[in-house]
Amino acid sequence: MTAQIAAGATEESLHRATPEQRRARTVGILLLLLAAFVLWIFGLGVESTDTSTFNLSLPGAKYENIKWEVDSRMLSAILAAVIAFLGGLVLRRTYLRWTNVALAISLALTALSFLTWAAAGKSFSLVGMLVSTVVLSIPVTLGALSGLMCERVAVINISIEGQLLTSAFVGTIVGSAANIWIGFIAAVLVGALLGAVLAVLAIRYHIDQIIAGVVINIFALGLTSFLARRVLTAAPELNSPGRFASAKIPFFGDIPVIGPMFFDQNMFVYATFILVIVIHFGLFYTRWGLRSRSVGEHPKAADTVGIDVHKTRYRNVILGGCIAGLGGAFLTLSQVSRFEENLTAGIGFIGLAAMIFGRWMPFGALAAGLVFGFARALQQKLGILGTPIPSEFLSMLPYIVTIIVVAGVVGKSRPPAADGQPYIKQ
Amino acid sequence: MELALSGITKQFPGVLANDDVNLEVSGGEILALLGENGAGKSTLMNILYGLYTPTAGEIRIDGTARQFDGPGDAIEAGIGMVHQHFMLVPVFTVAENVMLGNEPTKRFGWLDLQRARKTVREISSRYNLDVDPDAIIEDLPVGLQQRVEIIKVLARQANVLVFDEPTSVLTPTEVVGFVEIMNGLKADGKAIIFISHKLTESLELADRIVIMRRGRTVAEVTPANMDEEKLAELMVGRPVDLVVNKTPAKPGEVVLSVENLVVLDDRDKRMVDGVSFEVAAGEIVGIAGVQGNGQTEIVEAITGLRPSLGGYVKLKGEDITTASARSIHKRNVAHVPEDRQRSGLVLPFSVTENIVLDSYYEEPISNGVRMDWPAAQEQATRLVEQYDVRTPGIDVAVSTLSGGNQQKVIVAREFDRDVTFVVASQPTRGIDVGSIEYIHSQIVGERDQGAAVLIVSSELEEIMALSDRIIVMFEGRIAGEFDSSATRTEIGLAMLGSRPEEITS
């Protein structure tokens, strides 16, 4: 007998590390470096007497003047110690599944330390920034939801950017010419229309979905830029659609910090939260969701039990377009109230990244949207605070966060199994 | 319950897949539809299930003609199909898969999971299937997945059940359980059609056997007055040699030795868990086991296609554990991969290009920069001739060849050297009997010329016919080792993970 029967390998015989262990080692070392960085730059980079003041209420709020004053150097030192501790835990590699949690906590603590450093010796409206975070997260979350609706039925929607841009444009013009509500409806319909174009190209003609999406993006950018220059310059009255006012929810709106973030916003913000909940329960608890997911995971299995794969895909991709249309409407009918060339500047692509970061789950999309919203809010507020960091670097921040998140933090996540593949019946 | 297919003809571009086929089956009967790959069995069943529209002919159920425009119509008419490649969504639970397309709902399309679970439990207990409605499909062994497919079909009130190659994924013991299920369904008055190319089980299971060849039904027989040789002859159209002719092995020095190997799959699951064995020159070692017990990963680790986590692979005493696939290939290792279409061939490439796929970078096919196409064509012509590849020419895309001839192209490419070690995975999966005979004789030929041979196959018959020594794998470990005199039952038990001592007692 040369074969050794039924003996499992002992742990000592495993002389090569698993990918998970290698990852934990890398993350652990990175966290230790991060801790050193936080201590050295943010901790020792301020005067020892400096205090940072964080305002936790907005001027004119019901409960005014809530403040948090803290010794800048001390706080960063504590945060650095916590990060180093987490890094050490990860390096021990006993709890591999907590690697990502440790990483996420450490990044959040780093952000806090960074704010302490930036606000050293000054006063900083933390709640203002958190409100901006929510507002700026809306188009990203809606973009991610749009992508999620499509990818759950295995159609890759890379044209979210184009859908946002075109809807924003049409929303502006129709909103200015008629009224803001009709503009809003027009924006959603245009999103649906572009969704339908993508659906026809991808489902009916089996065109590579990435290429179809890129074509729609280029088309949207070219068309809106051309029309903006021709029409909006000649008739500037078509470029002022007005804004949806915010509607404060009684009682909840007065809660410090949480109130202004979530309960004193306009209807787009509320609509986004409701959509996240509706799509989550729809996907996982209804017939529509079960069938949609089956079409995205194993379209042939869906077909053999009598589900119309193509119809399901058309419906969801068009719905995805509507959601992107809502995001586009938000950009010009709520945020800035005028259209400019390439107004979206990549928000649609960040939305796509948020979808991946959120692992194709609606609440994941929301959380990822908030992370990106935070990065953009940080960029804006730091510009006001005046830090030694050049503004060009600050404007890169959301995109850098995108790269880090997609390349490093996500780890292995699993897209729908049939993602991107056309379904061809024999 | 009477189902009749009459005059079914299906014309695909360039191929007449079904030619005036007639078939009847009634409730309480098991019908075997026997034929080689490409005989038109699956086409016929796909027509019955509404996946294809027939060019001519009609389907009658209890005397009324029915037309199926899609599986939905067939399901409604009481026809259910268990596909060879299961139609289950891997990330869904059993209950979700069973209710898909036929969902019990409350208001607003809200899924009634309780009712779906109840349906699964009821059918499961009625036919003794023992399936947990909340298990996730991808965590279940194949035998249980098949039962989920059966529940799925029964939940739709099917009266005719079609099984496409139902036993090809099962262990011998699971087959016993499957036969019981089939008989339970039969006793319940269901009509059963099962598609197969296996002679033994058709004889054992069926009440009636219909044999198809080249799109036509060529014979209808009852198992009572049939034996395997006669069936094989009807199926292939000529007398067939069912046993592999070979002399006893004369094992020489050890060529391949695997020590304590540990390998992960793509999802970081430990598929090979401390496996050690040796293969000597001049012997064929077969690895038996149900698919998915680590065989794929072992072969990939040996051939340098997958890194291993622990242990060693040695070829003639030399450590090749971390060597690249090319450097292993250059040590005269021949590899016939498991999936010829995905990893054995470049399908759109010509026969010539596929034949030089392992030597395109060196003399005489190229000088390192420029390809010498005449030399490549010369080599292709010689090998096509020598290995009996039936192809219209060496410049046609290899995708147009039949499965058997595609496999011969791979064998020609891999064996046309002074091979010291052969590893062949599923060497005859899905190919015709003639090519099976040929490839088996080539493998035995390599052994007789002194090569060490490792065969992996999920067909136990193939392992038993070819091997001089058999290793059984179960859940990433070696569950038993046998010489060529071992019986089917002994090996079958080991494939289920029984301990060796239990087998011998």
Angle between helices B403-415 and B373-386 (to 10 degrees): 110
> Measured between CB atoms, which of A6, A290, A303 is closest to B478?
A6
- Check residue A235 and give its pLDDT: 87
Q: What's the whole-number average pLDDT of chain A?
A: 88
B91: closest chain A residue by CA = A297
Query: CA–CA separation, B405 vs B180, rounded Å?
Result: 38
Rg (CA), chain B: 24
Q: How many CB pairs under 8 A join A and B?
A: 133
Interior/surface letters B109-134, b for 16+ CB within 10 angstroms, e for the rest? eebebeebbebbbebbeebebebebe
| In-domain check, residue A4 | no
On whether residue A7 sits in a domain, the answer given is no
Q: Which of A86, A121, A156 is the last residue of a domain?
A: A121
Chain B residue with CA closest to A416: the answer is B91
Residues A90 and A195 in one domain: no
Confirm whether A426 is domain-assigned.
no
Q: How far apart are CA A141 and CA B252, in angstroms?
A: 67
Given an 8 Å threshold on Cβ–Cβ distance, is A305 in contact with B152? yes
Residue in chain B lying closest to A21 (CA)? B268
CATH of B254-504, one of 2.40.50.140, 3.40.50.300, 3.40.640.10, 1.10.10.10: 3.40.50.300
Instruction: Say what the pLDDT of residue A411 is.
Output: 59
Q: Does any domain span residue A425? A: no
| A421 in a structural domain | no
Looking at A93, A121, A149, the residue that finishes a domain is: A121
Quick one: average pLDDT of A61-85? Answer: 88
**Edge to edge, what strands does the sheet with B64-66 contain?**
B15-26, B2-12, B56-61, B64-66
- For chain B, domain boundaries: 2-236, 254-504
Residue contact A287–B103, C-beta within 8 A = yes
Q: Do A300 and B310 touch (CB under 8 A)?
A: no
Sort out which chain B residues have CB atoms less than 8 A from A96's CB and list them: none
Confidence check: pLDDT of A134 > 50 = yes
Position B351 scores a pLDDT of 95
Give the count of beta carbons closer than 10 Å to the beta carbon of residue A16.
15
Structural domain boundaries, residue A308 = 128-406
Q: Which residue has the tokens 């898969």?
A: B97
A417 contacts in chain B (CB < 8 Å): 90-91
Taking contacts as CB-CB distances below 8 angstroms, the residues of chain B near A7 are: 274, 477
Name the minimum distance, in Å, from the CA of A365 to any CA of chain B.
20
Measuring CA to CA, which residue among B433, B495, B430, B434 is closest to residue B460?
A: B495
* pLDDT tens digits for range A16-70: 677 778 888 888 999 999 999 999 998 888 888 888 888 888 877 777 778 888 8
Residues A249 and A346 in one domain: yes
The pLDDT tens digits for A382-391 are: 877 777 788 7
d(C-alpha B200, C-alpha B192), whole Å? 18
- The rounded distance, in Å, linking the Cα atoms of B306 and B504 is 35
Stretch A205-221: mean pLDDT, rounded? 95
The DSSP code for A4 is P
CB B403 within 8 A of CB B430: yes
How much is the pLDDT for B503? 41
Give yes or no: residues A163 and A24 share one domain: no
Contact list in A for residue B311 (CB cut-off 8 A) is 9, 13
Query: Which tokens sit at B228?
Result: 């395997």
Give the best residue of B10, B97, B100 to mutate against chain A (max A CB count within 10 A): B100
Is A175 found in the same domain as A67? Answer: no
Chain A hits for B274, CB-CB cut-off 8 Å, are: 4, 7-10, 13
Measure the CA–CA gap between A394 and A423, rounded to whole angstroms.
44
How close A19 gets to chain B, by Cα (Å)? 8
Residues of A in contact with B480 (CB under 8 A): 5-6
Tell me how many domains chain A contains.
2
Let me know whether A111 and A211 are in one domain: no
Nearest residue of chain B to residue A303 (CA atoms): B71
Contact B303, B326 (CB under 8 A): no
So what's the pLDDT on residue B375? 93
pLDDT mean values, one per 10 residues, chain B (505 residues) = 90 84 92 85 89 90 89 90 90 95 87 94 91 91 89 92 84 81 92 87 89 90 86 83 81 94 86 93 92 90 92 93 93 92 91 93 86 93 92 89 89 93 90 84 93 91 91 91 87 75 42
Tell me which chain B residues have a C-beta less than 8 angstroms from the C-beta of A20. Answer: 268
Contact residues, chain A, for B52 at CB < 8 Å: 426
- To the nearest whole angstrom, how far is the Cα of A355 from the nearest Cα of chain B? 19
Instruction: Give the closest of A3, A17, A297 to B89, CB-based.
Output: A297
| Residue of A5, A278, A291, A359 to mutate when probing chain B, most B C-beta within 10 A | A5
Backbone phi, psi, residue B42, to 5°: -65, -40
Q: How far is B441 from chain A (nearest CA, A)?
A: 26
Domain CATH number, residue A219:
1.10.3470
Residue B82: closest C-alpha in chain A? A304
Instruction: Give the closest-approach CA distance of A287 to chain B in angstroms.
Output: 5
- In a mutational test of the B interface, the residue from A4, A22, A281 whose CB has the highest number of chain B CBs within 10 Å is A4
Instruction: Let me know whether A246 and A179 are in one domain.
Output: yes
Interface predicted TM-score (ipTM) of this complex, two decimals: 0.84
Do B254-504 and B2-236 have the same topology in CATH? yes
CB contact under 8 A, A9 and B260: yes
* d(CA A9, nearest CA chain B) in Å: 4
Are the beta carbons of B16 and B215 closer than 8 angstroms?
A: yes
Task: Give me the residue from B87, B108, B499 closest to A301, CB to CB.
Answer: B87
Nearest to B46 by CA among B76, B13, B84, B92: B84
Chain A: residue nearest B50 by CA? A304
Instruction: Select the residue from A11, A290, A412 to test the B interface by mutation, using most B Cβ atoms within 10 A.
Output: A290
- Residue among B462, B352, B357, B344 at smallest CA distance from B406: B344
Q: Which residues of A touch B92 (CB under 8 A)?
A: 290, 293-294, 297
Instruction: Judge if A34 and A60 occupy the same domain.
Output: yes
Residue spans of beta strands (DSSP E) within B186-269: 191-196, 208-213, 216-221, 254-264
Q: How far, in Å, CA of B122 to CA of B155, rounded? A: 10
Burial, B337: exposed, middle or buried (Cβ in 10 Å; 0-12, 13-18, 19+)?
Answer: buried
Does the beta-carbon distance from A3 to B278 stay under 8 Å? yes
- pLDDT above 80 (res A95): no
How many CB atoms sit inside 10 A of residue A284's CB? 13
Residue A87 near residue A98 (C-beta atoms within 8 A): no
Which positions in chain A have a beta carbon within 8 angstroms of at least one beta carbon in chain B? 1-10, 13-20, 285-288, 290-291, 293-294, 297-298, 300-307, 417, 426
Residue B142 is predicted with a pLDDT of: 81
Residue A145 lies in a domain: yes
DSSP-H helix ranges across A235-389: 258, 267-285, 287-297, 299-304, 309-330, 347-357, 362-385
Residue A418 domain-assigned? no
Residue A15's pLDDT band (boundaries 50, 70, 90)? Answer: low
Half-sphere exposure of A279 (CA within 13 A, CB side): 28
Query: What is B2-236's CATH number?
Result: 3.40.50.300
CA geometry: angle A66, A70, A71, nearest 5 deg = 165
Name the least confident of A144-148, A328-332, B498-502. B498-502
Asked if A303's CB is within 8 angstroms of B471's CB, the reply is no
Among the partner-chain residues A9, A301, A303, the one whose CB lies closest to the CB of B310 is: A9
Residue A347, pLDDT above cutoff 90: yes
> Do residue A208 and residue A317 come from a single domain?
yes
- Residue A149 inside a domain? The answer is yes
The predicted structure's pLDDT at residue A426: 59
From residue A172, give the alpha-carbon distance in Å to each of A178, A224, A298, A335, A381: 10, 11, 41, 12, 27
Of the candidates B89, B264, B274, the beta carbon closest to that of A8 is on: B274
Which of A121, A154, A172 delimits the end of a domain? A121
Residue located via tokens 């997958």? B306
- Please indicate, yes or no, whether residues A218 and A259 belong to a single structural domain of this protein: yes
